[in-house]
Amino acid sequence: MKTMRPYTPFLLLLSLLLAAPLAFAGSDDGPKHKIVIQVSSDDARTQKIALNNAVNLQKALGQDNVAIEIVAYGPGLSLLTSKSRQGKRVESLAMQDITFSACGNTMKKVARKTGKEPQLLEGVRVVQAGVLRIMELQEQGYAYVRP
Amino acid sequence: MNTITHYSDEIINAFVDGELAAAERRELLAAAAESDRLRQRICEAVQLKELVRGAYPARSPEGLVKGRSGRRGARMRHAAAAAVAVLAVSVALLLPRPEPGQRLADGALSPVLPLSTGEEAGETTRVVFHVSSADPAAARELLDQVELVLREYAAGNRPLKVEVIANNEGLRLLQQGRSPVAERIRRLDQRYQNLLFAACGNTLERLRRETGEQIRILPQAVIVQSGVSFVARRQQEGWAYIKV
């Protein structure tokens, strides 16, 4: 029991060598921080704050270190349509690595009500349903922010 | 944090197993006095425990509870207990028949089973919705989302648990005689076993005190002590969170 077996140091070394790539693989797996921002309100101030949050987070953490997705649904969809009060800003942020997801379910609802599908801004993509997307992202480790 | 009380299956099982602290027991009993559904769930848990104990004396009910991942840090893990569990499981495996899984799945048991066996964390997607406004439009939006998620997962045959917690003005959505969505809540509750509505006990107490109203909560809802602690805890447990 007391004496170390001759191959023990070798085994230790081997396990370290084997473990090293795992450690690197961990840090290599996309950006370190992941944040989902929920916009479900039509309120102009709330929508503006959501964009501010995204910009500030990206600035604070570094564009390469953070994945940010803004998911808009319900009355919040107005942030991402051609009638958005933040249209220009949304389009430019979409080019700076911020993902904008519009709720397909809400779009269908609007289309049923008004007779025409809402037009989305450049760079905005459609997801099946905003809520499902937010759940999915949180399951993937995204932190949840609701301004 | 030990003042948080929610009435998940874990808590109910802990209650039945006599593992809750005195204060928690009192809270649960108080809530049970208010809620038919909670009383029913407790009765079912007791029945289940009796049944399991009767059927498999070698495999303690403890083993059953321990095998589930939902229970968090609720008790210490003694090496001795683990050894006993291993022994018990081996004995159970050596016994010819019936397999515990089959027996438990036999159906005669109760609606508790689909919630408490098998897929706890891990594969099951779990989401808690939080509502704190009494706005009827927000309430409809909330139930639209809840229903959409439930339907989507049911259609894909994917395991899901949904909880809706109402506090502050949101409590009105669960108030008897006042909720604009009472009928829809009743229907959803009836249709989906994996859906739970919960009202914040702190808010309930405050409203009763401040307004003198005799507020009664819908029979489909349970009462948790603190809505905020509840959602915080759910998030710590890895639930997705959606504020409506």
Q: What is the pLDDT of residues A90-107, one digit of tens each?
A: 999 999 999 999 999 999
- Cβ distance B149 to A132 less than 8 Å, yes or no, reads yes
DSSP code for B168: G
Residues B166 and B132 placed together within one structural domain of the fold: yes
Domain co-membership, B146 together with B61? no
Q: How many CB atoms lie within 10 A of CB A1?
A: 2
CB atoms within 10 A of CB B185: 22
Residues in chain B within 8 Å Cβ distance of A38? 242-243
ipTM: 0.76
Summarised one tens digit per residue, pLDDT across range B40-86 is 777 677 666 655 554 444 443 333 333 334 344 444 445 555 555 55
DSSP class of residue A120 equals B
Domain membership of residue A9 (yes or no) is no
Residue type, A120: L
Closest CA to A78 of A52, A51, A39: A39
Q: How far is A35 from chain B (nearest CA, A)?
A: 13
Quick one: B157 and B238 in the same domain?
A: yes
Q: How many domains does chain A have?
A: 1
Alpha carbon distance A71, A127 (integer Å): 9
Give the pLDDT confidence score for residue B83 in this predicted structure: 53
Whether residues B158 and B75 share a domain: the answer is no
Using the Cβ of A146 and the Cβ atoms of chain B, whether some distance falls under 8 Å is answered with yes
Per-residue tokens: A36: 């989902």
Contact between B148 and A132 using a beta-carbon 8 Å cutoff: yes
Chain B interface mutation, best of A34, A77, A132, highest count of B Cβ atoms under 10 Å: A132
Alpha-carbon span A55 to A35, nearest angstrom = 12
| A96: its two tokens | 């700076």
- Cα nearest neighbour of B143 on chain A: A131
**In the 8-state DSSP scheme, what is residue B239?**
-
Yes or no, beta carbons of A131 and B149 under 8 Å apart: yes
Q: Is residue A18 part of a domain?
A: no
Say yes or no: B87 and B43 in one domain: yes
**Residues whose CB is less than 8 angstroms from the CB of residue B197 and which lie 6 or more positions away in sequence, other chains included:** B163, B164, B166, B174, B185, B189, B218, B220, B221, B222
For A117, the domain range is 31-145
Give the range of the structural domain holding residue B202, as residue numbers without chain letter.
121-243
| Cβ-nearest to B152 among A132, A138, A139 | A132
pLDDT at B198: 98
Residues A47-64: tens digit of each pLDDT: 999 999 999 999 999 999
| Whole-number Å distance between alpha carbons of B58 and B56 | 5
CA of B110 to nearest chain A CA: how many angstroms apart?
A: 29
Residues B102-118 as b/e (b if ≥16 CB within 10 A, e otherwise) read eebeeeebbebbebbbb
Report whether pLDDT(A65) > 60: yes
Number of domains chain B is built from: 2
What residues in chain B have their Cβ under 8 A from chain A's Cβ atoms? Answer: 125, 127, 141, 145, 148-149, 152, 240-244
pLDDT at B153: 97
Domain boundary pick from B73, B89, B117: B117
- Can you give the CATH number for the domain in which A103 is found? 3.40.1260.10
Given a contact cutoff of 8 angstroms between Cβ atoms, the answer to whether A55 and A93 are in contact is yes
Q: Which of residues 84-123 of A touch B (CB under 8 A)?
A: 105
For residue A78, tell me if it sits in a domain: yes
Indicate if B39 and B15 belong to the same structural domain: yes
Among residues B117, B145, B165, which one ends one of the domains?
B117
Residues B127 and B158 in one domain: yes
Domain end call among B64, B88, B117: B117
Q: How many CB atoms lie within 10 A of CB A46?
A: 16
Q: pLDDT by residue (tens digit) across B111-157? A: 333 343 344 455 899 999 999 999 999 999 999 999 999 999 999 99
Nearest CB neighbour to B241, from listed A40, A105, A144: A144
Residue A72 placed within a domain: yes
Cβ neighbours of residue B141 under 8 Å, at least 6 residues apart?
A: A40, A74, B244
Q: How far apart are CA B54 and CA B104, in angstroms?
A: 12
Pick from B125, B141, B243: CB nearest A146:
B243
Q: Is the CB of B242 less than 8 angstroms away from the CB of A132?
A: no
- Measured between alpha carbons, how far is B202 from A56 in angstroms, rounded to an integer? 36
Q: In this structure, what token pair is assigned to residue B238?
A: 């890895």
Q: Assess if residue A23 is contained within a domain.
A: no
Residues B130 and B239 in one domain: yes
Query: What are B70-81's pLDDT values in tens digits?
Result: 344 444 445 555
Does residue A6 fall inside a structural domain?
no
